[in-house]
Amino acid sequence: MASPPIPSAKELVEAPLDWVEERSGLISLNNYLLFRNVPSDISWLQTLGSALITTFAVQAVTGVILAMYYHPDPTGAFSSIQFITDDATLGWLVRGMHKWGSSVFVILLFLHMGRVFLMGSYKYPREMTWLTGSLIFLCVMFMSLTGYLLVFDQRAYWASVVAININGTAPILGPYISEFLTVGPQFSQNTLSRFYSLHMLAVPGAIIALIGLHLYLVIRLGVSSPPWSKQRAKAGEV
């Protein structure tokens, strides 16, 4: 009686992938997303978007862990920050990644926008990519505002008071925006909870949805050649 043939290592790897591919098409989708053709004369400047996604992932992961130890109430917020920084294992590192990561995010975002602007990559047919990116930019600004308060030391408190009042100086809508943010006529104990909820639930959800739309457009429309490109666009390509 012949024993069944021993599968090779290659077959051992491919068999489960084939199983997934046959039932979901995810492997070919993955290949389609990751192994796209791009112009040959693009440079490191076109990797700023990927860097931003990586930074967002870092912010999301470190933020989730920080939320496990953070207490979003006026009496406990700062002491929980002290616990994270001074006592919790590697808490100083995770908090530092989140804190400095937020600055990295904003810096990369400006560089990415500058690259797209200076190379004219926002032009037809990529206007919607630019617009969704602009919405992500606004969300990130709002993340920076709401995140700053959460440390809840004197600097965070007064900086947020000033920022909320700057919102209040917008004509007509300003007073309503600032009262929405403070949950009442003045800074109250609900302000911190509101900022926390916006910072960790509402705005990140919006950013994830917008990144999805942004990436869909990037993949659908392809990466643009730089303005000095010698390559001629083939028919049907832009």
Which residues sit at the interface with another protein, rule CB under 8 A?
74-75, 158, 161-162, 164-166, 168-169, 171-172, 174-176, 178-180, 182-191
Residue 238 Cβ vs another protein, minimum distance, rounded to whole Å: 35
Number of residues written out for the chain: 238
C-alpha distance from residue 119 to each of 37, 83, 96, 217, 225 (Å): 19, 47, 34, 18, 9
C-alpha distance from residue 202 to each of 147, 155, 195, 207, 221 (Å): 13, 24, 10, 9, 29
**Of the two residues 168 and 226, which places its CB atom closer to another protein in the complex?**
168
**Of the two residues 110 and 176, which places its CB atom closer to another protein in the complex?**
176
Which residue's structure tokens are 């492997």? Answer: 27
Residue 186's closest CA among 161, 156, 163?
161
DSSP state of 201: I
Q: Within 10 Å of residue 84's Cβ, how many Cβ atoms?
A: 20
The token duo for 32 is 């389609």
Residue 170 Cβ vs another protein, minimum distance, rounded to whole Å: 9
Distance of CA 89 to the CA centre of its chain: 26
Give the integer Cα–Cα distance in Å for 139 and 198.
Answer: 10
Residue 189 Cβ vs another protein, minimum distance, rounded to whole Å: 4
Residue 74 Cβ vs another protein, minimum distance, rounded to whole Å: 5
**Of the two residues 105 and 187, which places its CB atom closer to another protein in the complex?**
187
**Of the two residues 65 and 161, which places its CB atom closer to another protein in the complex?**
161
**Of the two residues 90 and 173, which places its CB atom closer to another protein in the complex?**
173
Give the integer Cα–Cα distance in Å for 123 and 135.
Answer: 17
**Of the two residues 8 and 169, which places its CB atom closer to another protein in the complex?**
169
Residue 14 Cβ vs another protein, minimum distance, rounded to whole Å: 43
Residue 179 Cβ vs another protein, minimum distance, rounded to whole Å: 5
